[in-house]
Chain A
Amino acid sequence: MTTAWIDGQPVSSGEAIREAAKLLSMSRLPLVTGRFDDISALREAARVAGFSGGVLDHSDLGRVAPLIEALRDNGIIRISPGEVRRRADRVLVVGADPFAGSEAVFEQIFAVDPDLGAKAKGGQREIVLLGPDEPGRFSEVKGHVRTVGCPADQLGDAIGVLRAGLGGKPFGDGPFEEGAARALAGWLKDAAFAAIVFDATELDAISIESVAGLVSDLNAETRASALPLTAGSVYGAAEGAIWVTGFPLRTAFGRGDPEHDMMLNDGAWLISSGESDARIMLSYDETALDVADVPTILLSTAEEPAGEGARVIFKIGRPGVDHPMVHHEPRFGSFVSTPAEHHGMATNAADILSAIADQLGKAHHSNDEARA
């Protein structure tokens, strides 16, 4: 079975790996990108970026860039979903449906009543949905649910109004009237343990900072914590990149040491500006990709991998399906390993990336940390 192609011609994987390494080493500033659902692939991709003097990015990083910005500019008091499930007697859900794409977390939290904490124990959870007019997926959950309507583009304003209300400060007409705002602020303050849940990919950095500020203000006297949700693999990939490179992706190794820049190292920008002249990309997309803009090495899970204009193509297995994977599990708030669903011959993208990195490492630093 063919698993590697050069210019559309089937080749051995060894040949393809050598060609990929050659292409990357000849490139001025290669882009190493993709979705990296599997942290193993990310760890190896970081080595590829390091050895080839390239830039490491994730195709979805833009979705969590505001969260990353808010976390490192301001900080936050945050909580894991398991603890929300057991302890939060009052939950403020910000946005129309922050649990879209995070259904498992929704199940985990709202399937039961809170049972920890002397004050929360035995009572039903109170849930306020800030945003939608209808309870939506909350119509079936345990607990008392009510909605407070708020347009999506005014959620940040609403949080600001709650903070002003909590602080006894004046504010003008906003998403809801003054009495309701002050009442909602009081409701949060009187919780045994309040949780504020939001979709971090829907709010801008300042709004996330506002949520963090509201939680911080609440904690002056009571307990409250924030739960940012980020559906998909990108937040986990950013976490993984931090220990390997020091930064949450968008990190360049052109000068050896890692250099981070959310704008200048954005993969899409690098390709459109022409600053990157080659690319290695990990794709779980089943459709053909147009990658003719720069010489591209494509690692694809597609049944018949096709990359319009790809120089080198590797067919890879699906992580957690064809081979085991390590990924960030939002319910757990940390990394877990998942075994393969079945044992097949499909190649692990991490192994290919690792082989390319070894090949590059051989050329550059014969004595570096090449794995035995």
Chain B
Amino acid sequence: MLTCLKGGHVVDPANGIDEVRDIFIKDGKIVDAPAEAGSANETVDCSGMVVMAGAIDIHSHIAGGHVNTARLLLPEWHRAFSARPGETALSKVGWTTKETGLRYAEMGFTTVVEPAMGPQAALHAHLELADIPIIDKATLVVLGNDDMLMSMIRDGESDEAIADYVLWTVDASKALGVKCINAGGSAAFKENVRSYAFDTEVPDYGVSSRQILKTLQKAVTDAGIPHPLHVHCNNLGVPGASADAAEATIRASEGMPLHLAHIQFYGYGIEGRRGFSSKGEELARLINENPDVTVDIGQVMFGQTVTISSDEMRQFAGRAQASPGKSIIMDQEANGGGVVPMNYKEKSFFNALQWAIGLELFLLIEDPSRVFFTTDHPNGAPFTTYPDIFALLMDRNVREKWIEALPKSVKKWTSLPEIEREYTLAEIATMTRAAPAKLLGTRDRGHLGSGATADISVYRPNDDKAKMFGAAAYLFKDGVKVVENGAVVAKPYGRALTLKTHSDAKMGSRLDRYFDEAYGLQSRWFKVEGSALRRETPFREVPCLS
């Protein structure tokens, strides 16, 4: 079966293509044009439409224990809850695994990364991912507050041993990469430390956040894990200290790749009578100057949402701003975390400036292959706000209208009104397709070259970019048409992308003993068995770097 997407404007920056041409699909892959024109069994008329690879979201909390806790905590925001009045921003998410898949597909997304899977929540996360239809998924496993790693660093264990431990964790949890969240911060918080920074030592271990981060960064690089260490810095959201933490972390990258997540939450200074100002320009400059660093934004949008994070220390502190005023905080082995509802208000100086800082970073970071499109769903906003963010990036007039609605005092504190840049289609394709595939090491996607997985989104051009990107004209997943005119027409299950790796047997038996003796846990519980997920092909393996 050969399918031809005919006559569309193909935007495929990975292959340097930005022109009208046909795309051919066979057996779920993109293939070269056949010698004989017109030999396709099926032709989809894409004339006048924009054809791109399926979009990739590298940082969206869509599955796992904390997300599920958020669903538990906030039944009142569920769209279908009996007798609830009104639509809410959060209710559009649907709040189930099924709706997560449908909503992403309708926008033309085909791969989404759950970026914060605790080793202990790995099976839980994969069970949820298995129940998300259509899209492919991947996870990053969280290390950096675990007793094992901190003890190994304290005890001066070898780089190899630490890399083995990291690989065992990635392998057991079926992850694609590694994330580090406020390195050491959760462990310190368990010792009642309330103020913590990059060079603070975790009591009892005597290792600093910097040491933990650098050790993990090296281990990830040594192990050949394609995605660089994915870092959630210290002091997220703290005016002044957040920007200091981001700067210290960027400077500590020292030539090795490092990805900083939801950088918007670190763009906060302390100027002005409210003690809250934008560090967006400085932070963007720093990122522009450090080519080894990539970032995603974590854009804030207005409305009710919920913050979900394994940064237990910061989530605990965030309880004071919870809206509605309830939260669940978890003390656990390693990171723990917290779920704190948040209502970002357009009329709030602080929230409005957060919004502006996110856009400053989007627009002032020059290289679209080093800045990624995220709201840190649902922390900055639910992912269903993406179409509006595309419009904000691509249309200066849209930005002006939004800025008009903000409190006047905000304009004085942001450079946003002066920024003229408008993202081009090619830049959007780079940021949401080509670059994330490269960052994750998933070479089969993010582009439309021959041999690529046939994940293809087709959009109907519209001056209103929110309309254009809100409802894909077509979406093909593995060559199957799953969306037509913005509505899902088929719900096959995708797979979880996992790293093809093997861990050292000695580390395995060491950890069997360790988990039993230290925590009274069985190490096999950490291991995700594909058969437990009840899907025909639950995983697709991604090779390590050689």
| Smallest beta-carbon distance A330→chain B, Å | 11
- Return the contact of A337 from the options B73, B82, B333, B529 (Cβ within 8 A): B529
Binary per-residue interface labels of chain A (229-243) against chain B in the complex, 1 for a CB within 8 Å, 0 otherwise: 000000000011011
Binary per-residue interface labels of chain B (203-226) against chain A in the complex, 1 for a CB within 8 Å, 0 otherwise: 110000000000000000000000
Report the bound CA distance from A243 to B124 in whole Å: 10
Binary per-residue interface labels of chain A (28-47) against chain B in the complex, 1 for a CB within 8 Å, 0 otherwise: 00000000000110010000
The count of A-to-B residue pairs whose CB atoms sit within 8 angstroms is 185
* Residue contact A82 to B333, C-beta cutoff 8 Å: yes
Report the bound CA distance from A79 to B72 in whole Å: 17
Q: Within 8 Å CB of A77, what residues of B?
A: 316, 328-331
Closest partner residue, chain B, to A195 (CB atom): B331
Q: Does residue B161 face the partner (Cβ distance < 8 Å to A)?
A: no
- Return the contact of B128 from the options A85, A109, A243 (Cβ within 8 A): A243
Q: Within 8 Å CB of A326, what residues of B?
A: 123, 127, 532
Q: Does residue B252 face the partner (Cβ distance < 8 Å to A)?
A: no
- Return the contact of B65 from the options A112, A117, A334 (Cβ within 8 A): A334
Closest partner residue, chain A, to B519 (CB atom): A82
Q: Which of B509-532 contact A (CB under 8 A)?
A: 518-522, 524-525, 528-529, 531-532
* Residue contact B124 to A335, C-beta cutoff 8 Å: yes
Q: Does residue A261 face the partner (Cβ distance < 8 Å to B)?
A: yes
* Residue contact A117 to B191, C-beta cutoff 8 Å: yes
Binary per-residue interface labels of chain B (90-117) against chain A in the complex, 1 for a CB within 8 Å, 0 otherwise: 0000111110000000000000000000
Q: Does residue A336 face the partner (Cβ distance < 8 Å to B)?
A: yes
Binary per-residue interface labels of chain B (472-492) against chain A in the complex, 1 for a CB within 8 Å, 0 otherwise: 000000000000000001111
| Smallest beta-carbon distance A281→chain B, Å | 21
Q: Within 8 Å CB of A367, what residues of B?
A: 489-491
The segment from A66-74, A162-170, A171-179, A271-279 found at the interface with B is A66-74
Closest partner residue, chain A, to B73 (CB atom): A72
Q: Within 8 Å CB of A219, what residues of B?
A: 316
Size of interface on A: residues with Cβ below 8 Å to B: 68
* Residue contact A82 to B521, C-beta cutoff 8 Å: yes
Report the bound CA distance from A40 to B127 in whole Å: 9
Q: Does residue B358 face the partner (Cβ distance < 8 Å to A)?
A: no
- Return the contact of A117 from the options B204, B332, B534 (Cβ within 8 A): B204
Q: Which of B68-83 contact A (CB under 8 A)?
A: 68, 71-75, 78-82
Q: Does residue B63 face the partner (Cβ distance < 8 Å to A)?
A: yes
Q: Does residue A76 face the partner (Cβ distance < 8 Å to B)?
A: yes
Q: Does residue A187 face the partner (Cβ distance < 8 Å to B)?
A: no
Report the bound CA distance from A368 to B102 in whole Å: 12
Q: Within 8 Å CB of A243, what residues of B?
A: 63, 67-68, 71, 96-97, 127-128, 131
- Return the contact of B72 from the options A43, A68, A108, A257 (Cβ within 8 A): A68
| Smallest beta-carbon distance A114→chain B, Å | 11
Q: Which of A1-59 contact B (CB under 8 A)?
A: 39-40, 43
* Residue contact B493 to A75, C-beta cutoff 8 Å: no
Q: Does residue A331 face the partner (Cβ distance < 8 Å to B)?
A: yes
* Residue contact B525 to A336, C-beta cutoff 8 Å: yes
| Smallest beta-carbon distance B209→chain A, Å | 17
Q: Does residue B442 face the partner (Cβ distance < 8 Å to A)?
A: no
The segment from A137-145, A148-156, A245-253, A292-300 found at the interface with B is A245-253
Report the bound CA distance from A37 to B18 in whole Å: 54
* Residue contact A239 to B536, C-beta cutoff 8 Å: no
Binary per-residue interface labels of chain B (417-435) against chain A in the complex, 1 for a CB within 8 Å, 0 otherwise: 0000000000000000000
Report the bound CA distance from A76 to B329 in whole Å: 6
Q: Does residue A286 face the partner (Cβ distance < 8 Å to B)?
A: no
Q: Does residue A223 face the partner (Cβ distance < 8 Å to B)?
A: yes
Most buried by B among A40, A248, A337: A337
* Residue contact B71 to A246, C-beta cutoff 8 Å: yes
* Residue contact B73 to A79, C-beta cutoff 8 Å: no
Report the bound CA distance from A243 to B204 in whole Å: 38
Q: Does residue A125 face the partner (Cβ distance < 8 Å to B)?
A: no
Residues of A within 8 A of B (CB): 39-40, 43, 68, 71-83, 85-87, 107-109, 111-112, 116-119, 121, 192-193, 219, 222-223, 225, 239-240, 242-248, 257-261, 264, 324, 326, 329, 331-337, 350, 354, 367-369, 371-372
List 17 extra interface pairs beyond A264-B82, A333-B332, A337-B528, CB under 8 A. A75-B328, A78-B328, A83-B336, A85-B519, A86-B518, A109-B520, A223-B189, A225-B331, A243-B71, A246-B71, A246-B95, A248-B72, A259-B82, A260-B75, A326-B532, A333-B120, A350-B534
Interface pairs (26), CB distance under 8 Å: A39-B127, A75-B328, A80-B120, A80-B331, A82-B519, A83-B331, A83-B332, A86-B147, A107-B520, A112-B520, A118-B191, A223-B192, A240-B127, A243-B63, A243-B96, A243-B97, A247-B75, A258-B78, A258-B96, A261-B82, A334-B525, A335-B123, A335-B127, A336-B525, A369-B98, A369-B493
Please list the 10 inter-chain residue pairs (A to B) with the smallest Cβ-Cβ separation, ordered nearest first. A108-B520, A257-B80, A337-B532, A82-B519, A75-B326, A79-B331, A369-B491, A336-B525, A246-B95, A77-B329
